[in-house]
Structure 1
Amino acid sequence: MNLFDLALSWLKHKPKERVILFGRGIHALPNPREKELFDDASSAFIRGDVLEGYKSFLASLVHSEISHLPHHLKIIPEEGALRFELIQGSAIIKAYITSEYLEAYADIAKSASLHVAIKRRFLERNFQLTYCHFSEEKGVIKLSIRLDNTTITPQKIFFPLREIALNADFEKEFIASEFDESVLLEYDHILPINAERARRLYTAMQTWIVQTKESLLGLLSNDNTGMVSFSYLALLLQIDYLILPHKKMAKNISEKINGYFLDDEKLTEDKNADLETFLFELETMSYEHFVTQLYDSTSTFSPYEQAMHDDIATFIDESLAKVRWYKNSHSNYVISVIYRYISLYILYNYGLHPSLRALLHLHVEVYTGDFFAAEGETRLYDPQTKTFQKNSIQERIASAIKPYADRYKGLKNFADELNYSDLEHFSQSFYLQIKNLDYTEA
């Protein structure tokens, strides 16, 4: 068994840690030997065994398989060389390695079918990229890198590979959102969403929009702009996280959320009006168009930079301060919305440790029980009886914490510290525990 197959077998027998299939991070769990394999690669490069170093490095990238998707990384050993292919969303990166160099590329689109504005965009993007560049070869637009292996290190491989993977995916998504995706090359690996599930997702989105509109009846005035903002943003974040649209729909949602937080001269009322107009567009979107915005694929690299836990703790503190302000103002409606918004925004905006991602996903599940019940999951909170599935919640917290407890000695299971008396007290106690998690390595 070679190093790559060994890494894959370890992951197949990894302890019961839930793979989160929602949101825009990697939908898999990292290799438990990632650091060890990274160090093995460094040692091999130092002693001049370049191909062995690459094998260890690539093995460190291997993460858990998702049963219905092709594996994200394929390695083909050759005499005195290595080939590999990795998937990043809509893009496939192909590479050839010798002891002297690495060459990798992603085929983006047919050049003859592209509008001149897109070609100009690629030229401009070359000035923004650090390691890779766009070019045209035999009628194909490619994104390529070449690395000299004379003084190679794992770090000198990781960042160029991540750049080419993320940018190839980004540009193919951009073309699919603005033009006809038929011009794209190597696009057949993405999988359509099952028709039954696509209809379920469409119905869920429509239900959430109607519920949000009904909850705001009587509140749409200048005195309630903050409450309206939280409601609209929480809804868009929930659509983005749970439905995971692509192409034009994903681009528009991102622009609306990020546009709200721009430090510009726009009034909050005007920003809310923009969000309301966009929600109307989603509400009136036909199912036939909606389903074209969905697909399944796997990824190798996270699109996020790893966040410092102090930054996340600060965001939670600031958000809980807003909860207290609304409580003091007797604006009870918005409190549950803010609690829902906190976890969704962190999942949207920060690169998270897998355990923290699993914990925040748990909070999303608590607030969207109908959606997850339709997905075949246990309902963690019943709004009719106002009761929690306490044992299931405790199991989920344990499965998020336990696999990392040896590495982070201060990371403790906090399930028994939560207040299960009602939804509000649960969220308050939950975020206080999340804020104080200790990810200091032993």
Structure 2
Amino acid sequence: MFDTIRAWLSPTRMHRAPQYGRGTHALPNHNEKELFDRASEAFIQGDILSGYTFFLSSLIHQNDPFSIPHLSIERTDEMIRFSLYQGYALIKGTVTPTSLEAYADIALSEKLHVAIKRRFLERDFQLTYCRFSHSEGIIKLSIRLDNGTITPQKIFFPLREIALNADFEKEFIAGEFDESALLDTEHLLPISQNRIKSNYTFMHQWIKETRQSLIGLLSNDNTGMVSFSYLALLLQIDYLFLPHKKMAKNISEKINGYFMDDEKLTEDKNADLEQYLSELESMDIESFTTQFYHCAYTFSPFDQAMHDEIAAFIDESLNKVRWYKNNRSNYVITVIYRYISLYILYNYGLHPSLRALFHLHVEIYASDFFKTAGETPLYDPRTQTFKQNLIAQRVRESIEPYADRYKGLQSFAEHLNYSDLNHFSQSFYLQIKNLDYTEV
């Protein structure tokens, strides 16, 4: 009876997708599985156009915040025409009963540096389904599929490959060469100057706070603590600001370079991170502004991870927390707790419920940032108090919409420890680790 009254007073809403990080910024189609299955049935029956209609419809997101639809489909009796956005890229395609042909116009050939053209030739060897070509002065990336033995899987991976790689190459050109050579960029929307200025201010504030927190540690044998601090900061900048072009490339290279299995000493890797933070600190706001825009995405850049992988990473990270606790290195404990969510959001493809939950943790640790963005803060760092009811509601909204599909998936809001940030994080991650995503 109590649960019924609580549900009536606080009904669960389908949670919104976080508008941060490198995901699609929208929720998957709630009929995705059913549409995918109907596409398979139509292909088996030889109804190619209906199969493609069901499949393409399965890719349409719920609650897409972008003003232009990220995927448009037009069907006639003889063919289907579609277009989809993936960041910088616009993919246009035509489906007939015998084939699918799709392409993205990358850039005007005459405006491209010869090094870029050479790069396209090398990239062809790295691609599985699509190829670069030159036609009428335009560099294109295209695919062609034969529909003789088509299945939804045989469409998904080629379409995803062309979308992700067209976006990647246009981003690369925009960051390293002349952006005016690029084609089909009218869909990109500018970020408001107020938000740009706010992000710029927060970046400088976070860099200053990180440097101050490490005073007295840099000269000692505390390389692990320094690493966590620098990595958490870069991950936070990448997740909350969502930079593009050269800034995105550099952040990715610094983070991935740190984890590269090479002979470089940790101290040297930390020095590289420190050097890049200095570069960010010296970047003027005009250059900073050019690294941002708003755009729609159809495909996630991540393959969805198994929950066991997420649980294993949490276990490994909590073991590090335990080690630092035992060695009385209390400063780094809070940093590691912040790092865990940010790294998972950066490195793994997540179920929508998990993405919302880890975003919730980021919100709590960056409450001043979200307050400035107009969100209700979930934690007050000055009084060190939590908005417990709101946090519990957000946990329920993230989990309960999926409870019918995963019978063992249950809200854990009542099991969180609100004594302080560290106790909250410890209880939060233990609950996340034990979530049950076994399908009915």
Smaller-chain TM-score range? Answer: over 0.9
- The C-alpha deviation readout for 1:215-234, integer Å capped at 9, x for no partner, is 11111124111100000000
Q: Could you list the runs of 5+ residues in structure 1 that have no partner in the other structure?
A: 1-13
Equivalent residue letter for 1:98: T
Q: Report deviation, 1:143.
A: 0.3
- The C-alpha deviation readout for 1:26-74, integer Å capped at 9, x for no partner, is 1100001100000000011111111011110011000024345311001
- The C-alpha deviation readout for 1:186-240, integer Å capped at 9, x for no partner, is 0111111011111111111111111111111111124111100000000000000
Aligned counterpart for 1:301 among listed residues 293, 299, 302? 299
Aligned counterpart for 1:92 among listed residues 90, 93, 97? 90
- Counterpart CA distance in 1 for 2:403 and 2:261 is 40
- Counterpart CA distance in 2 for 1:434 and 1:129 is 36
- The C-alpha deviation readout for 1:290-313, integer Å capped at 9, x for no partner, is 010000001000000111111111
- Counterpart CA distance in 2 for 1:196 and 1:311 is 39
Report the aligned-residue RMSD: 1.0
Equivalent residue letter for 1:21: Q
What's the secondary structure of 2:222's corresponding residue?
Answer: helix
Aligned residues of 1:102 and 1:146 also touching (Cα < 8 A): yes
Equivalent residue letter for 1:188: E
Equivalent residue letter for 1:292: T
Task: Give TM-score scaled by structure 1 length.
Answer: 0.96
Task: Answer yes or no: is 1:240 the counterpart of 2:215.
Answer: no
Q: Report deviation, 1:416.
A: 0.3
Q: Report deviation, 1:342.
A: 0.3
- The C-alpha deviation readout for 1:69-98, integer Å capped at 9, x for no partner, is 311001122341110000000000000111
Task: Give TM-score scaled by structure 2 length.
Answer: 0.96
Q: Report deviation, 1:378.
A: 1.0
Percent identity between matched residues is: 71
Correspondence list, 1:325-364, <5 A: 325-364=323-362
Aligned counterpart for 2:118 among listed residues 117, 120, 137? 120
What's the secondary structure of 1:294's corresponding residue?
Answer: coil
Q: How many residues get paired?
A: 429
- Counterpart CA distance in 2 for 1:78 and 1:140 is 29
Equivalent residue letter for 2:432: I
- The C-alpha deviation readout for 1:226-263, integer Å capped at 9, x for no partner, is 10000000000000000000000000000000000011
Task: Answer yes or no: is 1:152 the counterpart of 2:150.
Answer: yes
- The C-alpha deviation readout for 1:398-439, integer Å capped at 9, x for no partner, is 110011100011111000011111111000000000111111
Aligned residues of 1:201 and 1:243 also touching (Cα < 8 A): yes
The corresponding residue for 1:9 is none
The corresponding residue for 1:428 is 426
Aligned residues of 2:71 and 2:83 also touching (Cα < 8 A): yes
Aligned residues of 1:126 and 1:133 also touching (Cα < 8 A): yes
- Counterpart CA distance in 1 for 2:147 and 2:269 is 51
- The C-alpha deviation readout for 1:304-357, integer Å capped at 9, x for no partner, is 011111111111111101111111111111100000000000000000000000
**Distance change (3 Å), C-alpha of 1:15 and 1:55:** farther
- Counterpart CA distance in 2 for 1:272 and 1:116 is 35
The corresponding residue for 1:403 is 401
The corresponding residue for 1:74 is 72
- Counterpart CA distance in 1 for 2:373 and 2:191 is 14
Correspondence list, 1:18-417, <5 A: 18-417=16-415
Q: Report deviation, 1:15.
A: 4.6
Aligned residues of 1:323 and 1:335 also touching (Cα < 8 A): yes
- Counterpart CA distance in 1 for 2:397 and 2:63 is 18
Aligned residues of 1:134 and 1:141 also touching (Cα < 8 A): yes
Equivalent residue letter for 2:386: F
What's the secondary structure of 1:187's corresponding residue?
Answer: coil
Structure 1, 228-237 or 214-223: larger mean CA deviation: 214-223
Structure 1, 71-80 or 31-40: larger mean CA deviation: 71-80
- Counterpart CA distance in 1 for 2:38 and 2:69 is 23
- Counterpart CA distance in 2 for 1:172 and 1:65 is 27
- Counterpart CA distance in 2 for 1:250 and 1:105 is 25
Structure 1, 352-361 or 305-314: larger mean CA deviation: 305-314
- The C-alpha deviation readout for 1:121-159, integer Å capped at 9, x for no partner, is 111111111111000000000000011111111011001
Q: Could you list the runs of 5+ residues in structure 2 that have no partner in the other structure?
A: 1-11
Aligned residues of 1:237 and 1:344 also touching (Cα < 8 A): yes
- The C-alpha deviation readout for 1:339-394, integer Å capped at 9, x for no partner, is 00000000000000000000000000010000000111111111111110001101
- Counterpart CA distance in 1 for 2:182 and 2:33 is 36
**Distance change (3 Å), C-alpha of 1:180 and 1:26:** same
- Counterpart CA distance in 2 for 1:368 and 1:15 is 24
Aligned residues of 1:222 and 1:269 also touching (Cα < 8 A): no
